[in-house]
């Protein structure tokens, strides 16, 4: 494999130029600078791609979390509204039953209410 840089022999004598001129050395230094510049650009491009990919993944996860939270809130609101409606229905039914009982048997209803009041009072005292 041929290298872009001439190889130096370890057996070269001190002071021998081995056919290398100062212009050759300057060219090799410029080639190294160009290679480092290209490497820096490639690293910057890679970092930008990685950052963009990571940001896209984070944005996707955030959107999924927002959708899940919205769905949970919507479900909770719907369930809460159903519970309120059911409670209102029971309260209305209970009220209607008491009204009907008062009309049919006023003294029995009064005795039942007094008994319930006594039980609450006894339980509250303890």
Tens digit of each residue's pLDDT (9 = 90 or more) over 93-115: 988 888 888 788 888 888 888 89
Measured CA to CA, the distance from residue 75 to residue 78 in angstroms comes to 5
Q: Is residue 5 part of a domain?
A: no
Query: What is the pTM assigned to this prediction?
Result: 0.41
Show the domain range for 53. Answer: 27-125
Torsion of CA 4, 6, 7, 13, to 10 degrees: -170
The reported pLDDT for the residue numbered 40 is: 87
Two tokens at 29? 């230094």
Q: How many residues does the chain have?
A: 126
Count of domains forming the chain: 1
Q: Is residue 83 part of a domain?
A: yes
Q: Is residue 69 part of a domain?
A: yes
Determine how many CB atoms are found less than 10 A away from the CB of residue 94: 10
Q: Is residue 6 part of a domain?
A: no
The reported pLDDT for the residue numbered 2 is: 46
Q: Is residue 13 part of a domain?
A: no
């Amino acid at each position: 494999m041929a290298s872009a840089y001439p190889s130096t022999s370890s057996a070269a004598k001190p002071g021998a130029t081995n056919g290398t001129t100062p212009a050759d050395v300057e060219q090799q230094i410029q080639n190294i600078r160009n290679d480092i510049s290209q490497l820096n650009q490639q690293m910057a491009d890679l970092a930008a791609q990685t950052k963009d990919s990571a940001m896209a993944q984070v944005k996707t996860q955030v959107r999924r979390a927002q959708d899940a939270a919205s769905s949970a809130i919507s479900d909770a609101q719907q369930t809460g509204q159903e519970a309120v409606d059911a409670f209102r229905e029971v309260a209305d039914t209970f009220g209607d039953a008491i009204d009907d009982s008062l009309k049919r048997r006023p003294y029995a209803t009064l005795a039942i209410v007094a008994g319930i009041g006594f039980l609450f009072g006894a339980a509250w005292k303890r």
